[in-house]
Structure 1
Amino acid sequence: MRARKSSSEEELNQTTIFPPQTRRKGIGIRKWLVVSESGQSHLEDIGKHSIMKRTGLPARDLRVLDPILSYPSSIFGRERAIVINLEHIKAIITATEVFVLNSKDPAVVPFVQDLQNRVMCSNVAAQRATEGFDNDMEVTEKESQELPSFHAHHGSEKHANLDISQLPHLSKDTSMPKMKMKGSSPMTAVDVAGAAGTMMLPFEFRALEACLESACRCLDYETSTLEQEAYPALDELTSKISTLTLERVRQIKSRLVAISGRVQKVRDELEHLLDDDNDMAEMYLTEKLVSQPLDQASLSGELDNDSINLHDEREEEIKTNGGESLSTIKPNIEELEMLLEAYFIQIDGILNELSTLREYVDDTEDYVNIMLDDKQNQLLQMGVILTTANLVINAGIVVVGLFGMNIHISLFDGVPGQFWGTALGTMGGVVALFYIALGWGKTNGLLA
């Protein structure tokens, strides 16, 4: 009975101390918005270990996305995923999916809509480009098939002197059909396919661009709002110094410091990525996903002539570069580098606007300090003048005190006119001493 009672009491205590919601959060299950490469999105309750298994991320990278903890803005490129922690955006990007945390946040909803529209529009554009390319290839193949019938109909002897340049859709090399695009030189089908592939960004870069654009838009909006509030308040402070305006400027300066720190962190993160080619190469998730089956097939099968030639070219390149290994060869990261440079310039422009506002605040503070110093100098001059007036008045009081003493002198036996003469002479002497003191102060630079 005691054993049953103790076990039931333990279960009751566990239920009381750790309710179901707390136990569920302890497991690490959170609601993630999953956006696929087709643009479709749905909510999933994914645990910590499940998200680690699907993305290949370690636990320390997931802590960066924890909303309870405070981490600065950061972008990590891993083997199978990209971790994004920019302002209000906390997401994990893979080659086929995007996992967004806190999708119900009002600040995250526009980002999710922009991401879906961007992915859908890119898919539609890719589909149209593929259909147009197939149509152009069909037309080119038909034109190449009509060439033998043209010679067969007119005879080879009669048209032996035919200028092939008159046929714009033909080339000297008839082994590969060529087509002429608008505004470009003739290109082979392989070249067109390669150009179409370079024009379309991979899925992870489209998602990364949406994250960067949303973060830049958020910072730009906060900067514009701060500028609209700061400049009128600073102008008002220069015209009228009061406790209310000083409090407003203090709050504006605090916001300015906070926003500048956030923008500077994003700028430093982008600059770090642009300086490290290996980190940018890690972000090519689609390319790594496609190259994995090819690498496995190349290891299991035999090398063909093209792969042997490519290997020989790589060996020659390594010899010319001083014997560097294949891992040290610089990857082709121009596509991602151009993308990051565009948003680096935008972030740098926002930081310049904040720096200009900071300089304006500093100039206003200097101007206010100068005004306060001028007021203080005026008060000091007023104090000197009042002290001088008090000194000369005290001198007159001394004279009056001497005449008020109970001592008999011959001046008291005179007519009343002598009294008024003495009084007026004392007052005139006091005024004369006052102006003499002011003149002496101005001569010595004590008074302005």
Structure 2
Amino acid sequence: MAGDGYIVPADPQAQASLNNKTSVSRSWILIDCRGEGTILDVDKYAIMQRVQIHARDLRILDPLLSYPSTILGRERAIVLNLEHIKAIITAEEVLLRDPLDDNVVPVVEELRRRLPPVTVNAFHQGQEYGGENLGGQNDFEAGEEDESPFEFRALEVALEAICSFLDARTTELETAAYPALDKLTSKITSRNLDRVRKLKSAMTRLTARVQKVRDGLEQLLDDDDDMADLYLSRKLAGASSPVSGSGAPNWFPASPTIGSKISRASRTSAATIRGDENDIEELEMLLEAYFMQIDGTLNKLTTLREYIDDTEDYINIQLDNHRNQLIQLELFLSSGTVCLSIWSLVAGIFGVNIPYLWNTGHGNMFKWVVLLTGMACAFLFILIISYARYKGLVGS
């Protein structure tokens, strides 16, 4: 590790000092198959040399660049970019970027808890009861058979973490959105409208994030060759099968972990010879489970979007109703203004102080003309309103 950069043990003091560093993009945590973590402060060239990937693959994990969520299988590593989880998985270790991030810390703890294989403890327990205990050996072999490859266990932890994270954000959004929408339907105010607008923006951003993760899993599930590239242990076993016969007996007593790996490698090599190298059922079942989970989260967001759209339609109907009421009021006022204008015109003509012939000797005629004009204007007003109701312009 001398050429890989400066290595610091994973203790609280090292994490505190790492938190003060300005170059956060250089911080990685390495978790091996025993669940032990080591903080690394190395550059990208050391990472590329360690896991043997290209610069374009490492660029996908750059937090300063925006790349879609993806799971890429390479010759000796899996490049994993799922939102805040940016990791490189090999057949024996996991490199996780930005381990001090609040969203990444739970992933690190879960990897430390779940990556150590159970078969090692079973092997030690079998040795405590004696090497000739065939039942213990059978239990160890059975546990070994049931153990998933290291890269799949690490991948499962990452998928479970990102699916749980997005589902939790969706639940929080639902908890805040539904009461706000119900409150808006009961009382339309600027404050309620602004709150719903912010929640809708948050829902749009969260939907885009969930959709990217779902598209990444769907794209991987649609290509069997890409899924076959994720079987790193199978590739490792195929590469070491010519010499595995002589090396296995010497390594197995010294290290149970290495012995179990070699035993698995020999069985995987035998499966490859039988033509099972295209068997991707285990990985396919793993990906389908989390694809269904992320698809369920997307369905929740879709249901929330439909509820928001229904609320918007309801509010638009209410606004249209208020607008129609204002139009009715305007029609009443306009009709009344027209009738009053006619009545005022007649009253004004008879009320001018100008002598003319037909007004001479008819002192009471002015009162009758004004009264009849008022009755005619009232009748005209009723006629206009009746015609508007007949045409459906106003409500009954």
Instruction: Give the alignment's TM-score, normalised by structure 1.
Output: 0.71
Deviation (angstroms), 1:112: 0.7
- Percent of counterpart pairs with the same letter? 45
Encode CA deviations 1:78-124: one digit per residue, 9 max, x unaligned: 111111111111111111111111111111111111111112xx43x
How many residue pairs match? The answer is: 349
> For the Cα contact (< 8 Å) 1:73–1:269, is it kept in 2?
yes
**1:382 corresponds to:** 329
Counterpart residue type for residue 205 of structure 1: F
Encode CA deviations 1:302-357: one digit per residue, 9 max, x unaligned: xxxxx9xx89x96xxxxxxxxxxx7xx76222221121111111101101101101
**1:224 corresponds to:** 171
404 and 34 in structure 1: CA distance in 2 versus 1, 3 angstrom threshold: same
330 and 392 in structure 1: CA distance in 2 versus 1, 3 angstrom threshold: farther
> For the Cα contact (< 8 Å) 2:35–2:112, is it kept in 1?
yes
Counterpart residue type for residue 98 of structure 2: N
Deviation (angstroms), 1:409: 5.3
Instruction: Give the alignment's TM-score, normalised by structure 2.
Output: 0.79
> For the Cα contact (< 8 Å) 2:71–2:81, is it kept in 1?
yes
Q: Which one of 355, 361, 364 corresponds to residue 407 of structure 1?
A: 355
Deviation (angstroms), 1:268: 1.3
Deviation (angstroms), 1:45: 2.0
1:273 match: secondary structure: helix
Counterpart residue type for residue 73 of structure 1: S
Greater Cα radius of gyration, structure 1 or 2 = 1
- CA distance in 1 between counterparts of 2:88 and 2:223 reads 21
Q: Which one of 84, 88, 92 corresponds to residue 92 of structure 1?
A: 88
- CA distance in 1 between counterparts of 2:188 and 2:165 reads 33
Deviation (angstroms), 1:403: 0.3
84 and 58 in structure 1: CA distance in 2 versus 1, 3 angstrom threshold: same
Q: Which one of 70, 77, 83 corresponds to residue 73 of structure 2?
A: 77
**1:127 corresponds to:** 120
Residue ranges of structure 1 left out of the alignment (5+ in a row)? 1-23, 141-178, 182-188, 299-306, 315-325
247 and 274 in structure 1: CA distance in 2 versus 1, 3 angstrom threshold: same
Deviation (angstroms), 1:242: 2.3
Encode CA deviations 1:364-385: one digit per residue, 9 max, x unaligned: 1111122222222222222222
**2:264 corresponds to:** none
1:16-95 matches, within 5 Å, as 30-95=26-91
136 and 237 in structure 1: CA distance in 2 versus 1, 3 angstrom threshold: farther
- CA distance in 2 between counterparts of 1:330 and 1:96 reads 20
- CA distance in 2 between counterparts of 1:139 and 1:194 reads 13
Alignment pair present for 1:293 and 2:240:
yes
217 and 382 in structure 1: CA distance in 2 versus 1, 3 angstrom threshold: same
Deviation (angstroms), 1:245: 2.0
242 and 29 in structure 1: CA distance in 2 versus 1, 3 angstrom threshold: closer
**1:166 corresponds to:** none
1:306-317 matches, within 5 Å, as none
Deviation (angstroms), 1:136: 10
> For the Cα contact (< 8 Å) 1:277–1:330, is it kept in 2?
no
- CA distance in 1 between counterparts of 2:184 and 2:357 reads 65
Residue ranges of structure 2 left out of the alignment (5+ in a row)? 1-21, 246-266
Q: Which one of 203, 218, 223 corresponds to residue 256 of structure 1?
A: 203
